[in-house]
Amino acid sequence: MPAIDLDRIAELARIELTPDSAAAFRADLERVLALVDRLQAVDTTGVAPMSHPLDLPQRLREDAVTEPDQRDALLALAPAAENGLYLVPKVIE
Amino acid sequence: MNRTDWETVIGLEIHAQLTTRSKIFSGASTAFGAEPNRQACAIDVALPGTLPVLNRGAVERAIRLGLAIEAEIAERSVFARKNYFYPDLPKGYQISQYELPVVKNGTLTIQVGEGESAYEKTVRITRAHLEEDAGKSLHEDFHGMTGIDLNRAGTPLLEIVSEPDMRSAEEAVAYARALHTLVRWIGVCDGNMQEGSFRIDANVSVRPKGETRLGTRREIKNLNSFRFLQQAIDYEVRWQIETLEEGGTVQQATVLFDPERGETRVMRTKEDAHDYRYFPDPDLLPLVIDRAWIEEIRANLPELPQALRRRLVDEHGLTRYDANLLTASKELADYYLAAVAAAGQAIAKPCANWILGELAAKLNRAELDIGESPVRPEHIAALVQRVHDGTISHAGAKKVFEALWTGEGTDVDAIIEAQGLKQVSDESALEALVDAAIAGNPKSVEEFRAGKEKALNALVGQVMKASRGAANPQRVTELLRRKLTA
């Protein structure tokens, strides 16, 4: 089993770990990877990768504008909004 | 010291915004310029419990582009989640396509350069996939916070990825321009670069000539004009060569072009490259496209620029250069074809000359598009016909054109009549003038008879002067020649 870089995984998922929860997460992830290892052991030669559990094609929608403007109702759900904009903590990469 | 000859290698990724009315996964409008968040519905703002439903119009446009670049249209393609946390996509991922894109293995043939050194080149297109655009972050200060406008979130994009087949900035610009023409030609993208409808990322690397392995590339992000594309590549290539020649190494990185300073600067290096953790989106089933739909779309494709270009050279007798200019946009090509349809293919070339000469100059000066031209294709046709049949001279035609342009007249024959531009071609009317010119200029007559061809021009000039410009110079020349050699 490959070593688990817990800090990297937490960083990618934007989750902050406490020392206690880190140990629990590590144990959980190890169990998940063990499961994946068992799946990997199955010979899937010639089997097309499954991208969806339902064996159905995607239904398509006609190209028409059907959604009315609900800005005010949606903005009201946000923690902060101003001038019609959602406000979020400053993000500059 | 041995100087290395360097080869530039460029591949382009182009995001073309598709011309659908509604978004790729929601029924919100895609119209440009709305007030912030007026066109961001519950799906676009990622309200829990909402589900995406794929827009048929976006798929149809992807197929159109695929057919136009002679690519394979995947019978089955899959949407994937590209995970990243950024508030301009509130789901925490972008819906894109990864392993199974809708379009793959296409080609686009481009014309590079002008005149003698011009050449053709075929650029391979690896793939084109459907994805959603992100919203906009507004970084002006909102009490230390960032404002988010999600109107653009969910706008359908086709990301068109080329192979690293281009070997100079000039080739990259020619390819980008050809693709820009094509997407507008087939109506899948409006090509408006100021509004961000056509954005270019350039992957640039250099290697010693003869080397077959690729050098380390840097990706220049988000170029929104052909001029910036050219400048950014030129700078980047110079920088990479200098770095290598000074013994340094090029690190894989994403860079931004600063048009003010004319240089690229690093945005992020390989170490902090994103790990997008793509996986198939469980909210969307595989996209299945049947043959019949593809054939229906193929049947409705217009004649493509490359095929038309060939036809203009082979059948209309135009130069490759003129054919290129006339196929720069569908509107211009349609204008020219309408003129030729009215004038007859035999005089296609003068039609092209008028459109690319006089008309193009006027439109340019007035900053008008071909669609806004007050001079219509049938005017050009009538004008060219009247020159061709000798009714008016080229100088007269220019006066007619002027009258059409200013709106002083709308009928070519009526303008010719009103301005008295009709040439005198009637032999009996010209004969007296020709005889007078011969009688009054014995010296020129002598010279011509002695073999000096040029002397004939002087005599023609005399007749033209006597007719106050009304005589048909071609007829006058014929008549003079006949009389003097009789």
- Note the pLDDT tens digit of each residue in B401-456: 999 999 999 999 999 989 888 887 777 888 888 888 899 888 989 898 888 888 88
CA distance B475 to B206: 63
Residue B405 has a pLDDT of 96
Neighbours of B58 (CB within 10 A): 27
Of all residues in chain A, the one with the smallest CA distance to B60 is A63
Give per-residue pLDDT as tens, B189-247: 999 999 999 999 999 999 999 999 999 999 999 999 999 999 999 999 999 999 999 99
Q: Do B78 and A85 touch (CB under 8 A)?
A: no
Stronger pLDDT, A91 or B434, i.e. the higher one: B434
Residue B338 has a pLDDT of 97
Q: Taking 70 as the threshold, does the pLDDT of residue A2 lie above it?
A: no
Inter-CA distances, B400 with B352, B363, B375, Å? 17, 17, 11
3-state SS of chain A is CCCCCHHHHHHHCCCCCCHHHHHHHHHHHHHHHHHHHHHHCCCCCCCCCCCCCCCCCCCEECCCCCCCCCHHHHHCCCCCEECCEEEEECCCC
Inter-CA distances, B27 with B136, B156, B208, Å? 19, 12, 51
Give per-residue pLDDT as tens, B107-121: 999 989 887 788 999
Angle at B435 (CA atoms; ends B433, B441), nearest 5 degrees? 100
Residue B273 has a pLDDT of 65
Residue B470 has a pLDDT of 81
Residue B233 has a pLDDT of 98
Neighbours of B248 (CB within 10 A): 10
Q: Helix, strand or coil for residue B190?
A: coil
CA distance B24 to B198: 17
Element housing B256 (H / E): strand B253-258
DSSP count for chain B of H helices, then E strands:
16, 17
Give per-residue pLDDT as tens, A68-89: 999 999 999 999 999 999 999 9
Per-chain mean pLDDT for chain B: 93
Selected residue of A5, A14, A85 to mutate for chain B interface (largest B Cβ count, 10 A): A85
Q: Taking 50 as the threshold, does the pLDDT of residue B1 lie above it?
A: no
Q: Tell me whether A55 touches chain B (CB under 8 Å).
A: no
Task: Report whether B206 contacts B7 (CB < 8 A).
Answer: yes
Q: Taking 70 as the threshold, does the pLDDT of residue B25 lie above it?
A: yes
Q: Do A70 and B41 touch (CB under 8 A)?
A: yes
Task: Report whether B306 contacts B333 (CB < 8 A).
Answer: no
Can you read off the two tokens belonging to residue A60? 């398509």
Question: Exposed, middle or buried, B18 (CB in 10 Å: 0-12/13-18/19+)?
Answer: buried
Q: Do B280 and A51 touch (CB under 8 A)?
A: yes
Q: Which of B261, B270, B172, B161 is nearest to B217 (CA)?
A: B270
Task: Report whether B181 contacts B332 (CB < 8 A).
Answer: no
Residues of A in contact with B138 (CB under 8 A): 85
Of B41, B147, B287, the CB nearest to A85: B147
Residue in the block written with tokens 């827009």? B55
Can you read off the two tokens belonging to residue B361? 């100059």
Q: Do A87 and B40 touch (CB under 8 A)?
A: no
Instruction: Band the pLDDT of B485: cuts 50, 70, 90.
Output: confident
Residues 6+ apart with CB under 8 A from A23: none
Of all residues in chain B, the one with the smallest CA distance to A91 is B146
Q: Taking 90 as the threshold, does the pLDDT of residue A12 lie above it?
A: no
Q: Taking 50 as the threshold, does the pLDDT of residue A37 lie above it?
A: yes
Question: Residues of A41-67 as b/e, b for ≥16 C-beta within 10 angstroms?
Answer: eeeeeeeeeebbeeeeebebbebebeb
Q: Do A91 and B86 touch (CB under 8 A)?
A: yes
Q: Do B285 and A62 touch (CB under 8 A)?
A: no
Average pLDDT score over residue span B59-68:
98
Q: Do A74 and B20 touch (CB under 8 A)?
A: no
Residue B269 has a pLDDT of 80
Can you read off the two tokens belonging to residue B166? 């281009």
Of all residues in chain B, the one with the smallest CA distance to A86 is B148
Task: Report whether B147 contacts B138 (CB < 8 A).
Answer: yes
The CATH architecture one would assign to domain B427-485 is: Orthogonal Bundle (1.10)
Stronger pLDDT, A61 or A13, i.e. the higher one: A61
Residues 6+ apart with CB under 8 A from B272: none
Residue B72 has a pLDDT of 98
Residues of A in contact with B267 (CB under 8 A): 93
CA of B317 vs chain A CAs: smallest distance (Å)? 43
Of all residues in chain A, the one with the smallest CA distance to B55 is A61
Delimiting residues of CATH 1.10.10.410 domain(s) in chain B: 427-485
What percentage of chain B reaches a pLDDT higher than 70?
Answer: 99
Residues of A in contact with B26 (CB under 8 A): 67
Task: Report whether B233 contacts B28 (CB < 8 A).
Answer: no
